[in-house]
Amino acid sequence: MPVVKKDGIDFYYEEEGEKHAPTVIFSNSLGANLRMWDRQVEALKHKFHIIRYDQRGHGRTTVPTTSFDFDDLANDVVHLMDELEVNQANFVGLSMGGMTALGLGIMHARRFLSLTASNCVATFSEDARQVWRDRVKTVASEGLAPILNATIERWFTKDFIDKNKAEVGGIRDMVGATEISGYIACCAALERLNYVPNLSSIDIPTLLIAGRYDVGTPPVEMRKMKELIVDSRYEELPTAHVSNIEAYQDYNELLLKFFDCVNT
C-alpha cells in the first residue's frame, strides 16, 4: 500500500496518468476519501500526472493522536510532494480540501502552478461554529449514523438523489465508513478555521467553483473570496455541496479549460 509517513501518520495516496506531464493533486472533503475524484481522474489521467491522497483520519490514512489545524493539512500536501519528488503541481480540493487549497496558497504558493478551491469558505460565522461543536458532540456520543441522511441532503440536490439512488447509496456508505476520531478531529479544525485575513496574499491562478444550491458553503461566501484573491476566477454550477460528483462533466470541463491556461 503506497504511504508517506509524517508526524506519526501514514498518508495513503495513489498515482496515475502521465508521469512527466504537469501534476494535479486532488484532496477530499470531510467524510469522503480519494474515491470521490474517480471521474476527474478518468477525464484527466491521459494528459496529467495525477496524485490523490486521503486527508488525515479519512480513507486509508491513519488518524493522528494530537489535534491539528488547516496549516497542518496544507503542510501535509507539501510533505507528500517532497516525498514523491514533485516540485510544482496544480492542486484541486473540495470543501475541506478546498480550504486546504487556501492554506497552500497562503503558505506555499511557489510550489503550485494553480489552485482550485471548490465548495468551501475561508472562515465560519459563530452560528456555524456552534453547528460544528454540536456535530462533534453527536458523533462522539452516537457515531456517524445519526448525521448520514442530513449529510447526503446537504451534499446533493433532491433531484440528483432521486435519480441516482445507487450512486448516492455508495457515497452514504463511504461517509459512514469514515473513522469517527478522524472525522471529529477534522470537524475541530473546521470550527477553528480563519484564512480571511490572509486571502489577499494569494497571488497564483486560483479557480473558485461554487454550487448554486450549496447551503453549507454558499456561493455568496465564495464570491467574497473572489474579491479578495487577486488572480482568481469564479464559476458556479447548478449543484449542492459536492459539485464534482453532481455535475462531473461540467466540473471536468472547468478544470481542463483552467489547466490549459495555467500549464502552457
Question: What pLDDT score was predicted for residue 231?
Answer: 87
Q: Decide: residue 40, CB within 10 A, 0-12 exposed, 13-18 middle, 19+ buried.
A: buried
What would the grid cell of residue 28 be?
477530499
Question: What pLDDT score was predicted for residue 193?
Answer: 98
pLDDT digits (tens, 9 = 90+) for 222-256: 999 999 999 899 999 999 999 999 999 999 999 99
Whether 135 and 186 have beta carbons less than 8 Å apart is answered as no
Helix (H, G, I), strand (E, B) or coil at 112: strand
Task: Determine the Cα–Cα distance for residues 42 and 104; give it in Å rounded to an integer.
Answer: 25
Task: Determine the Cα–Cα distance for residues 99 and 122; give it in Å rounded to an integer.
Answer: 7
pLDDT digits (tens, 9 = 90+) for 71-112: 999 999 999 999 999 999 999 999 999 999 999 999 999 999
Residue ranges of the domains in the chain? Answer: 3-262
Task: Determine the Cα–Cα distance for residues 135 and 225; give it in Å rounded to an integer.
Answer: 26
Task: Determine the Cα–Cα distance for residues 213 and 155; give it in Å rounded to an integer.
Answer: 10
Closest CA to 76 of 110, 29, 108, 119: 108
Span 20-30, average pLDDT: 97
Q: How confident is the prediction for the chain on average, in pLDDT?
A: 97
Helix (H, G, I), strand (E, B) or coil at 92: strand
Span 125-132, average pLDDT: 96
Helix (H, G, I), strand (E, B) or coil at 104: helix
Task: Tell me: pLDDT of 264 over 80.
Answer: no
CATH topology classification for 3-262:
Rossmann fold (3.40.50)
Task: Tell me: pLDDT of 263 over 90.
Answer: no
Task: Determine the Cα–Cα distance for residues 33 and 96; give it in Å rounded to an integer.
Answer: 11
